[in-house]
Amino acid sequence: MKAERVPLSTKLVSKNRGDWYDPELKRAIFGTIYRYEIRDPLTGTWIVEVRITSDPLKATACLVSSESSSGVHIQLRSKSIVFIPCREDRESFYHVLGIAYLQESGRLCYRRIKRPEDVPEEIKRSYTLDLYENVSPHPGNRTYRGKIVTLVPKSAPEKMAELFILEKVHPISGNLET
């Protein structure tokens, strides 16, 4: 019998207006920065920032710190996940799932998901899933066609922070040094 996982405990630490450099846009952008402390009984305490901007409208979740400084933790701090507005649902962002795994060399990578049965149970229970082509304003993009996305309300930055942990940390939790 599989043990039931204790849910994440998420606390808003700060909410500020500010600017940051966006590597995709290659410029500074301005918006709201939410900083969350996420306590996970399996992997420890994490600080995740969610940055939401209106020009262009998008959100980004990234790891700021963790309880360890192992090589995997350092790699996790260089990853982020991006949320883009849905085509028709004006209240939600979508994010193309990229589930983390470690190569034999120890390099952190991720794989895009095509089949619902490959989505981790915790993500299935906590988020609405759809296909990229059903929600994207650019459904013709061949890279993501057929891939599964999560939908997150624009008004729920804490769910974006938690998704970072469920997508990038939990799948490799057996390889994390604390």
pLDDT for 52 equals 96
Following DSSP, what letter does each residue of 33-86 receive, concatenated? EEEEEEEETTTEEEEEEEEEEETTEEEEEEEEEES---HHHHHHHT-EEEEEE-
pLDDT for 97 equals 97
Return the residue matching tokens 């991006």.
82
The residue among 121, 65, 119, 64 whose CA lies nearest residue 95 is 119
CA distance linking residue 25 with residue 32, whole number of Å: 17
Return the residue matching tokens 């952190």.
108
Tens digits of pLDDT across the chain (178 residues): 344 565 899 999 999 999 999 888 899 999 999 999 999 888 889 999 999 999 889 999 999 987 766 778 788 888 899 999 998 888 999 999 999 999 989 899 999 999 999 999 999 999 999 999 999 988 778 889 999 999 999 999 999 999 999 999 999 887 665 4
Sign of CA dihedral 45, 97, 95, 22: positive
